[in-house]
Chain A
Amino acid sequence: MATDPRPATDKRSSAAAAAAVLLVLVVFLFIQTMGSPITTFGSLSESVLYSVVVFIPVAAVCLLAVAKSGRKDG
């Protein structure tokens, strides 16, 4: 943000904190989803597809945000 004088490191570490919290939430939700009667997948390929399309991108974004903020701060 051009008009925000706060240091970029504050923003990155805050983003990392939010990403870490979201990661915990999505891992919990993913485990729950796999056991949910609504999403009981008919085959292994369905659950793999769900994991690849839905879970892995979110987890990857969270991990990337944590990793990237840590690397720049260091």
Chain B
Amino acid sequence: MPLNLASPAVAELSFVALAVVVFWAGARAFGRTRAAVFLLGSVLWTAPVENFAVLRGAYTYYGYAGKILPNYPGYLMWVGLVPFWVVLGWFVFAMSGFLIFHGVLLTKRRALLQAAASGIFAVNIDLMMDPVASSNALWVWLTASFKVVGTPLFNLVGWFLLIFFYDLIARHTIMDSKPMPGLSRVEALVFRPRAGPGSGIDSRRLVFRILVLETVVIVLLALLTPFIDYLAFTVF
């Protein structure tokens, strides 16, 4: 299939525009500082996972490398081996889900339910975005994993886990200052006690939670991928 050489630029510009609108919405709802921390946190949250997946050979973002200009990698801005617009995309979906489910549709429900709803919502969006992006070579799947509408099944699990956990981190650390179940005991050894609810964003605790849960997600995905593939190929 011939490549449309305008596609990478259209994707980059579209996601920068989307991120600006969603950032504005987040800033209006939670304040500029919290929205900015949410954005920076989502970059720290997703960029290592994305780079890890690229390094493992699951996919590549170099489908347009050398095709637009001889030494042009296809996209203008990168975070390691991942285009910046992809990282911005994670922010767009994480913040939108947070605004929709925490602010309107599932207010006063349990944080776990809100995070799960946001995760499933993001998976569905990916099921529409991935076929369009991969058929236009915005990214190219290199894996022989079991695919659903052109998208590897483990990728959908990854989408759910990333949005689910980041929603919980944001809820407990950026928007509020609360202990996270499972991490409280470790944090009690590492950090001094919090000043109390509403005492601002504890950036060290945020980075700690991101790094710990990011490791959990990467290990989970690495362990689950062969199992998911085996199960899917056996059943279907």
Chain B's interface size range is: 35 or more
Q: How far is the CB of A7 from chain B (nearest CB, A)?
A: 10
Once the chains bind, are A32 and B132 in contact (CB under 8 Å)?
A: yes
Contacts of B31 in A (CB 8 A): 4, 6
In angstroms, Cα B127 to Cα A13, docked, is 27
Q: Is the CB of B124 within 8 A of A21?
A: no
Q: Which parts of B92-144 form the interface with A (CB within 8 Å)?
A: 95-96, 99-100, 102-105, 121, 124-125, 127-129, 131-132, 134-135
Cα A59 to Cα B142 in complex, Å, equals: 31
Which residues of A have CB within 8 Å of B175?
Answer: 1, 3-4
Check if B198 sits within 8 Å of A15, measured CB to CB: no
Chain A positions 1-25 with a Cβ under 8 Å from a chain B Cβ = 1-4, 6, 8, 10-19, 21-22, 25
Does the CB pair A50–B104 fall under 8 Å? no
Which chain B residues lie closer than 8 Å to A55 at the CB level? 124, 128
Given known A3-B177, A21-B22, contact A14–B103 (CB-CB < 8 A): yes
Asked if B128 and A68 make an inter-chain contact with CB atoms under 8 angstroms apart, the answer reads no
Find residues 70-111 in chain B having any chain A CB closer than 8 Å to their own CB: 95-96, 99-100, 102-105
Number of A positions contacting B (CB below 8 A):
39
Proximity bits, B55-75, A CB within 8 Å = 1, else 0: 000000000000000000000
Cross-chain contact of A61 among B103, B121, B176 (Cβ < 8 A): B121
Asked if residues B104 and A16 are in contact (CB atoms below 8 Å), the reply is yes
Q: How far is the CA of A37 from the CA of B104 in the complex (A)?
A: 37
Contacts of B125 in A (CB 8 A): 22, 25-26, 29, 58
Docked CA distance A29–B24 (Å) = 23
A14 touches B131 (CB 8 A): no
Closest to B107 in A: A8
Q: List 19 A-B contacts (CB under 8 A).
A: A3-B198, A4-B175, A11-B99, A12-B103, A14-B103, A17-B21, A19-B99, A21-B25, A21-B96, A29-B125, A29-B129, A36-B135, A36-B150, A37-B1, A54-B124, A54-B128, A57-B124, A58-B121, A69-B104
A interface residues with partner B (beta carbon < 8 Å): 1-4, 6, 8, 10-19, 21-22, 25-26, 29-30, 32-33, 36-39, 50, 54-55, 57-58, 61-62, 64-65, 68-69
* Chain B residues at the A interface, C-beta cutoff of 8 Å: 1, 18, 21-22, 24-26, 28-31, 34, 95-96, 99-100, 102-105, 121, 124-125, 127-129, 131-132, 134-135, 149-150, 175-177, 197-198
